[in-house]
Structure 1
Amino acid sequence: METTQRHIIDEEVQWDKTKTIVSKTDVYGTILYANDVFSNTCEYSTIELVGEPHNIIRHPDMPKVAFKVLWDALKKGENFHAIVKNLTRTGRYYWVITDFTIDKDEEGKIVGYTARRKAVPNGVVKKIEPIYKTLLDIEKLKGEKASEMYFDAYLKEEVGKTYNEFVVDLFNEELSKEEAEKIKNETNPLKKGLNWFFFGETNPT
């Protein structure tokens, strides 16, 4: 599909944040399936999305190192979570947390990936956005390798966690704050966590 350079608009697209965006790709990141929530949110039709590289929705505010960490984990067959700012067809944005699962054939070979995306609490965006901006600034000035080295050092020295652990803990912390506000009058609040967030209450946490 031919695409033109999109004019970036600093405006969040309106979408149903109670819904889950779902897509499937092959091992190269080519979109094989997109649900209606995905299509409606990114403002492309499903027909337009299928067969395209997933980076069709990559926002220029996202540092490349974030995707490198993601792909390095997926290629190893590791489940992964990422917080991503995506770009719509009209140049707007939406923030999501993505839960990746590995799709394998009968012989255990990785054949693709399934991603489920949900809206993130504003508190998550406020904490992750400055980190991404720093990484992007380093990337533009010093190159991708310098950005990668800084990110690795940042996670070790200031966070003490892997990126995946950092994302999960940050998300759960902010989600817990929102849940606490909603259920602060209850005597026995249920801590639901990420698994419930993506798959529903019937799944174990």
Structure 2
Amino acid sequence: MRNNQPVTQREYVLSEEAVLISRSDLKGNVTYANPTFVEVSGYSRDELIGAPHNLLRHPDMPEAAYADFWKTIQAGETWQGVVKNRRKNGDHYWVHATVAPLRDGERIVGYTSVRRKAAGKAVARAEKIYAEIREKANPATTR
């Protein structure tokens, strides 16, 4: 799993109005990024387009969360969840993400992701659950 470093433990707080939109190909490479997504990520548009979307993966996110994510969207279904992403400078931000297959007729040709600021209670719940998942996956490294 990609382990993007460094991390700062500083949170970049999204505004209530912010809507981050991106599209990716079937392999997860970014094909479109709206201006808000570019700004929040800290990367330039040129750095994002063509790059794997997991460029934003925060090391606190457990691999199991992404396994469920990929299983769901590759089956043609919509996935929703709370995600901790890493900005280019190592800061992080929390979003509630909705990811849906992009279709050409019946064929899936990519994925669209729409993200908004995650609610505080949802973040607290996600932090607890993700820590438990990481501990179960790596009991020796979390003590």
Q: Normalising by structure 2, what TM-score?
A: 0.90
Report matched runs for 1:27-106 at 5 Å. 27-106=26-105
Deviations 1:34-83 (A, max 9, x none): 11111110100111100000100000000000010010011110111021
| Alignment check: 8 A CA contact 1:13 1:92 kept | yes
CA distance in 2, matches of 1:14, 1:85: 12
| Alignment check: 8 A CA contact 1:6 1:90 kept | no
* Superposition misfits of 4+ residues, deviation over 4 angstroms: none
CA distance in 2, matches of 1:25, 1:134: 30
Q: Normalising by structure 1, what TM-score?
A: 0.64
Q: CA deviation at 1:86?
A: 0.2
Indicate the structure with greater strand content. 2
Matched residue of 1:141: which SS? coil
Matched residue of 2:21: which SS? strand
Deviations 1:163-188 (A, max 9, x none): xxxxxxxxxxxxxxxxxxxxxxxxxx
CA distance in 2, matches of 1:95, 1:14: 8
| Greater relative contact order (Cα < 8 A, sep 6+) | 2
Q: CA deviation at 1:128?
A: 1.5
Structure whose alpha-carbon radius of gyration is higher: 1
Report matched runs for 1:127-166 at 5 Å. 127-141=125-139
Residue type of the alignment partner of 2:119: P
CA distance in 1, matches of 2:114, 2:14: 15
CA distance in 2, matches of 1:72, 1:15: 28
CA distance in 2, matches of 1:124, 1:16: 16
Matched residue of 1:112: which SS? strand
| Alignment check: 8 A CA contact 1:6 1:89 kept | no
Matched residue of 1:67: which SS? helix
CA distance in 2, matches of 1:128, 1:81: 13
1:117 matches 2:115: yes
| Alignment check: 8 A CA contact 1:14 1:41 kept | no
Q: CA deviation at 1:14?
A: 4.2
Q: Is there any run of 5+ residues in structure 2 with no aligned partner, and where?
A: none
What is the count of residue pairs matched by the alignment?
Answer: 137
Identical pairs, percent: 32
Indicate the structure with greater helix content. 1
